[in-house]
Amino acid sequence: MSKGTYNHSIDAKGRLTIPARFRDELGERFVVTRGFDDCLAAYSFGKWTTIEDKLNAIPITNTAGRKLRRVILGNAIECEVDKMGRILIPANLRVLAHLKKDVSLTGVGDFIEIRDNALWNDFNENGGLDNMTEEELAKLEELDL
């Protein structure tokens, strides 16, 4: 179960160091794709297989499902960690997630979010639990946490 946040930098070639703790959880090969809320999402192959199966089960006649499949599957790449603990993030994914140099890798349960550090800091300062709408808070109550 991934948790915690680590800050790293993307080098000039687009390589990002994956923290050892996350490498242990994701494996030496894993999948990165576009996530929600301006980030990338990294999944172990075991978790990715489940997600891929669920996406492929969405009827092609479902408009929202087709869009979701395009976004998640169409942007998915397999990553392999190099000897230095880094992965290469392609330019198109860096653009989609607004990744510049400094990024935050955040464990959020069964996957890792990769987000521009400035966006992560803004979320923590302005978009977290303190700024939720009444509707959002009501939905959290339904989860019975």
What is the Cα–Cα distance from 105 to 142, expressed in whole angstroms? 28
User: What dihedral do alpha carbons 25, 26, 32, 38 form, nearest 10°?
Assistant: 0
What is the Cα–Cα distance from 10 to 56, expressed in whole angstroms? 32
Q: Tell me the one-letter amino acid at 41.
A: A
CATH number of the domain to which 131 belongs: 3.40.1550.20
Least confident stretch, 43-47, 135-139, 141-145: 141-145
* DSSP type of residue 8: E
* Residue-wise pLDDT tens digits, 82-129: 999 999 999 999 999 999 999 999 999 999 999 999 999 988 888 777
37: left (phi over 0), alpha (psi -120 to 50) or beta: left
- Number of structural domains found in the chain: 1
Question: Could you list the residue range(s) of the whole structural domain that residue 37 is in?
Answer: 2-142
Q: What is the pLDDT of residue 1?
A: 78
* Residue-wise pLDDT tens digits, 16-54: 999 999 999 999 999 999 999 999 999 999 999 999 999
